[in-house]
Structure 1
Amino acid sequence: MKAIVSNALPRLLAELCVLFVLYLVGGQLVAWLDWPIPAGVMGMALLLVLFAVGAVKPGTLQRGAGWLMAQMLLFFIPALMSLLDYGSLMRSEGWRILLVIALSTLVVMVVTALTVELVCRWSLRHEA
């Protein structure tokens, strides 16, 4: 048990470092190219490219990505708490805000599904 724990922490830290470096490189690319997209999105695009060319296997970063996903609630609590300060806005414009959130979530899901489908078809064509 002790060996598992002692081996898990360095691996987790290494995976988190790789993800952080991708974020930093994405931020640098965004700055160099002067593109209006977040550094995290560029970092994820870089990670997708690394997955597509086979330089990184998805399972390699599974522990670090899983840990970050488990901590997502910490990132969203401050945003949700700020809604308490804008109760009147939510009462008057809440339905519009919810509509935008619902539509943008739907668009993200559709684009993600299409991207995964295209990448899967592309990888199957290049394997054959």
Structure 2
Amino acid sequence: MKRFDVKRFARLVSEVAVLLAIYFLGCQIAAWWHLPIPGGVIGMALLLSAFALGLIKPATLQLGAGVLMAEMLLFFIPALMSLLDYGALVRNDGWRILLVIGVSTLLVMVVTAFTVEAVCRWRSRHEV
């Protein structure tokens, strides 16, 4: 069994706190400016901007992001449980729902790939 490491735990808590602060800032910006974009998306854009500008190094948030990614299923359990209330909807229109989920997932992956590629090319041109 692993020994409890206070420094590692403190780092984890501080990294998750920074990620949550960026998320809440994105939510506040969306509320203040009445944007139709979710606060989480704005928070991710803020985080990407901070990475691109060098204000935050990705390695500094790696532990907290890793823990959140490892426990991501817990964030989706309430959504899955709500499907039990809408069994008829899933039986009748389930294929449409799956099609939308599949296409949107594919679009997110493609846009992410192109964004990462563009940022890598931009970064390699400006590092000289």
In the other structure, the counterpart of 1:60 is: 60
Unpaired segments ≥5 residues, structure 2? none
In the other structure, the counterpart of 2:6 is: 6
C-alpha separation in 1, matches of 2:70 and 2:19 = 15
TM-score (norm 2): 0.93
* Moved beyond 3 Å, runs of 4+: none
In the other structure, the counterpart of 1:93 is: 93
C-alpha separation in 2, matches of 1:122 and 1:20 = 28
In the other structure, the counterpart of 1:78 is: 78
In the other structure, the counterpart of 1:17 is: 17
The DSSP-based 3-state class of the residue aligned with 1:55 is coil
**Letter paired with 2:95:** W
The DSSP-based 3-state class of the residue aligned with 2:56 is coil
Superposed CA offset, 1:5-61 (max 9, x none) = 111011011101111111121112212322111111111111100110111111100
Superposed CA offset, 1:83-102 (max 9, x none) = 12211111111111111110
1:123 is the counterpart of 2:123:
yes
The DSSP-based 3-state class of the residue aligned with 1:122 is helix
Mapping 1:26-37, distance limit 5 Å? 26-37=26-37
C-alpha separation in 2, matches of 1:61 and 1:109 = 22
C-alpha separation in 1, matches of 2:88 and 2:118 = 44
The DSSP-based 3-state class of the residue aligned with 1:34 is coil
The percentage of counterpart residues that share the same residue type is 63
C-alpha separation in 2, matches of 1:78 and 1:20 = 20
1:41 is the counterpart of 2:60:
no
Unpaired segments ≥5 residues, structure 1? none
TM-score (norm 1): 0.93
In the other structure, the counterpart of 2:106 is: 106
The DSSP-based 3-state class of the residue aligned with 2:5 is helix
CA RMSD of aligned residues (A): 1.4
Q: How many residues are treated as equivalent by the alignment?
A: 127
